[in-house]
Chain A
Amino acid sequence: MLQVSIYRYNPEVDNAPHMQEFEFDTEGKDLMVLDVLEAIKAGHDSSVTYRRSCREGVCGSDGLNINGKNGLACITPLSETVKNDKLVVRPLPGLPVIRDLVVDMSLFYAQYEKIQPFLKNNSPAPAIERLQSPEDRSQLDGLYECILCACCSTSCPSFWWNPDRFIGPAGLLQAYRFLADTRDTATDERLSKLDDPFSVFRCHGIQNCVNVCPKGLNPTKAIGHIRTMLLNRAT
């Protein structure tokens, strides 16, 4: 029997959050954490609240804190996270809880928008595509795949303390995605907006982001590249 402990908070009835315990029979199957939540919502308590969509790890809806580590419920198998038949599911840390496992991601999205996550190129577009060599394109690998699940930023102490001023690993990964794109011509403008003591430089290289990213991306490395670009620009 799996002991499932779920963080519950309904602002309409609860003064404070609490953990609710469920007994769950996996019938010996190695389910994903999302399967367990779905079964609990379907069979035990329809009021258990969480986000989910694709259930295959590409939409980024179900980032949760699972047995103490941030990850996507839909691609985290029980065998990977459960020890001693105990599964503890909490919302992503550091963001306000709306209800149960659902957090308010406004601050996270605001930081993403702040880096102007769109290609800027002021030269007139050609009649066909802009050409880009496979080598130049490969600079975007490991960057564009981000699914905005927020597992990284909400595991980052610097983001916990300054979510309004530190862009956070997810936003910075995307900032570098556009800095690294040979088709983007706004490099200098982008760098100017990052050269303050908070946006980039609150990263202290803790690397929680790298440790939890469900897509295996490396925001710390991207942040290092941004620092180098800022340095090269200044000297």
Chain B
Amino acid sequence: MRTISFDGVIVGGGGAGMRAALQLSQSGYKTAVISKVFPTRSHTVSAQGGITCAIASSDPNDDWRWHMYDTVKGSDYIGDQDAIEYMCSVGPEAIFELEHMGLPFSRTEEGRIYQRPFGGQSKDYGKGGQAARTCAAADRTGHALLHTLYQNNVKNETVFFNEWFAVDLVKNQDGAVTGVIAICIETGETVFVKSKATVFATGGAGRIYASTTNAHINTGDGIGMGLRAGVPVQDMEMWQFHPTGIYGAGTLVTEGCRGEGGYLVNKDGERFMERYAPNAKDLAGRDVVARSMVLEILEGRGCGEHGDHVKLKLDHLGEDVLESRLPGICELSRTFAHVDPVKEPIPVVPTCHYMMGGIPTNVNGQAITVDEQGKDHIIPGLYACGEVACVSVHGANRLGGNSLLDLVVFGRASGLFIESALREGIELRESAQSDIDVAGERLRHLNESSGGENVADLRRELQNTMQNHFGVFRRGDFMQEGIAKLAELRGRVESVSLDDKSDAFNTARIEALELQNLFEVAEATAVVAEARNESRGAHAREDFTERDDENWLCHSVYHSEGKKVSKRGVNFTPSTVETFEPQIRSY
């Protein structure tokens, strides 16, 4: 097996990965990005509404501390306040950098970046009413962001391994990460990509659910690789269900629709969010809105023949606003819902959207493991940023527009930290051939497999199990059933069939490897969801309906070895502002 060496290797060519790569390339270090798709096909491209940040354009008095307050409250108080402080305070600088790179933001009359209202946003620590803090490029902000980052990586001559798939982590005798095993999809060649710093920016894993806004490629490859290498994951029970996925298709309709004045109605045409969140109404936290929608449906006020969805009304905004502010939504709605939002409301339903959990990291992107005594240890050589990481700025519920900010700020922070670490000199011991062989074992097993079940069938079974047992509302006994189903599924997934063993652009092999990653994510989610005996943020239990700060004001940590769950403290000590103490969360 060939070895290729770099100073820094970034696995994943989405927003976080390319922001980290850009930082490293600019500093002159030999940097490579391994991406299983051409970078502009990454899922960041689908982000619509915007990137939330207190740049004081819409409101000249806006303050990043207000944004921080909203984010802490949105997280249902298990977001780490030092990380949130860092994200909200550094955010404006990161946004202005993007603008200087050429990102085509929409503009205000003054020529500044246009900001729109999004859910969970307030002024003056919740006392000053709705804020408009989400910077937007029409409703194609993710597309504009991702292309801008790719363009600037081209400018800085980052090395791209496009359509290469990272299979597993390589560690050395000290437990430090020394690189990854990767396959060139086009030729089937397997290589060891060696690096002093391996950055996971592999994105989310929404494909563990049957109904998701996520791209086909969101299969949690970083989580899978991490768990197999003994890296723990944090807060995996926290999955955001976006209130407005198009009914039937699952494609996303941005929260920006409600920010621009759209609202949800039930079959009676009632604006039901007025009952659930009298102040913020349709712009309450996403978890709150999603649950309200499910309750409307369960109580028989859903729309359609089966009463299984609600509708998003936009027509009152007028054609001009819709075509200028939400052109992409009009297009998606016409294509996937066969509805013209200028004339009729769009049928929508809560749909799996975002993984708040992930590999625990500090604000420098360094991956963290937790020992038996609950003490944090940095994993040498491994970094994570973006959706795969859990810094944690989103806690139990992410606010709209904070994911793009997360990936830009922490992609950048990882790059900055690795740059300085490389300058000081990173010494990792070489991996032995046996270490590389261990990392290649899964791929070898798959390539030599015979018999076994079809990837697509197993994937469907996995997705249905997650959808039915770990959805918007969860119940202990039902989750235990789900865990049992998953336990039975594990062996079948590990011995999945691979009929096509060819080398040239073998997508069947990639899908089999992805399925195994999905499974790791699903099992971690299931085990931790069953363990957290409370309702907090996106994790809503029918059998534990209250938030339990006494026992669960903490992160959950899942260890693959023995499928153990432990608790980890939340950071309540920001350095420049007072701690935001947990309060009852209402909108």
Contact = CB atoms under 8 A, between A and B. Distances in A.
Direct contact of A and B (CB under 8 A): yes
Interface of A: 10-13, 41-43, 46-47, 49-61, 75, 77, 98-100, 102, 105, 109, 113, 116-119, 121, 125, 127-134, 136-137, 140, 144-145, 147-148, 178, 181, 183-184
B289 interface: no
Nearest to A43: B456
B502 A42 contact: no
Contacts of A50: 507
A58 B107 contact: no
Nearest to A215: B331
B100 A137 contact: no
Nearest to A60: B41
B504 interface: yes
Nearest to B56: A128
Contacts of A178: 102
A212 to B, nearest CB: 16
B140 interface: yes
A13 B502 contact: yes
Contacts of A10: 502, 504
A129 to B, nearest CB: 4
A178 B154 CA distance: 15
Nearest to B456: A42
A116 B456 CA distance: 41
Interface in B52-109: 55, 95-96, 99-102, 104-109
Interface string B312-339: 0000000000000000100110011000
Contacts of A147: 40, 45, 143
Interface string B209-221: 0000001110000
Given A13-B502, A54-B43, 15 more contacts: A46-B456, A46-B508, A49-B505, A53-B37, A54-B45, A54-B216, A55-B215, A56-B46, A57-B332, A102-B505, A121-B100, A131-B112, A132-B111, A140-B104, A144-B137
B448 interface: no
Contacts of A140: 104
Nearest to B93: A127
Contacts of A100: 505
B254 interface: no
Interface stretch (B144-152, B228-236, B392-400): B144-152
B499 interface: yes
B335 A132 contact: no
A10 B506 CA distance: 10
A46 B37 contact: no
Contact of B499 (A47, A132, A134): A47
Q: Give the residue among A55, A129, A133 with the most B Cβ atoms within 10 A.
A: A129
B550 interface: no
Contacts of B143: 58, 145, 147
Q: Chain A contact residues: over half helix, strand or loop, or mixed? A: loop
Given A47-B499, A98-B504, A99-B504, A53 B96 contact: no
B505 A130 contact: no
Given A133-B111, A137-B106, A47 B140 contact: no
B251 A56 contact: yes
A121 B455 CA distance: 50
Contacts of B506: 47, 49
Contacts of B111: 131-134
B102 A12 contact: no
B329 to A, nearest CB: 11
A98 B505 contact: yes
B40 A60 contact: yes
B504 A119 contact: no
Nearest to B505: A99
Contacts, number: 155
Contact of B102 (A59, A119, A128): A119
Contacts of A51: 37, 41
Q: Which 3 A-B pairs have the closest CB atoms?
A: A119-B102, A42-B456, A131-B111
Contacts of A46: 454-456, 499-500, 508, 511
A114 to B, nearest CB: 11
A49 B510 CA distance: 11
B113 A129 contact: yes
B561 interface: no
Candidate in A11, A46, A105, A136 with the most chain B CB atoms within 10 angstroms: A46
7 contacts: A42-B457, A46-B499, A51-B41, A58-B328, A59-B46, A98-B504, A119-B101
Contacts of B100: 119, 121, 125, 129-130
Nearest to B106: A137
Contact of A128 (B96, B336, B456, B507): B96
Given A10-B502, A47-B500, A134 B107 contact: yes
Contacts of B456: 41-43, 46
A187 B196 CA distance: 40
A134 to B, nearest CB: 5
Contacts of A56: 46, 249, 251-252, 332, 335-336
B102 A52 contact: no
A10 B151 CA distance: 33
Contacts of A134: 106-109, 111
A187 to B, nearest CB: 14
Interface string B471-510: 0000000000000000000000000000110111111100
Nearest to A34: B216
A94 B310 CA distance: 46
Contacts of B96: 125, 127-129
Given A41-B456, A59-B215, A129-B113, A54 B41 contact: yes
Given A49-B505, A53-B41, A105-B38, A118 B215 contact: no
Contacts of A53: 37, 41-43, 215-217
A130 B92 CA distance: 13
Contact of B101 (A54, A60, A118): A118
B154 A113 contact: yes
B144 A59 contact: no
B343 interface: no
A56 B217 CA distance: 13
Contacts of A99: 504-505
A118 B99 contact: no
B371 interface: no
A11 B186 CA distance: 11
A181 B454 contact: no
B335 A75 contact: yes
Contacts of A77: 335
Contacts of B332: 56-57
Contacts of B40: 59-60, 147-148
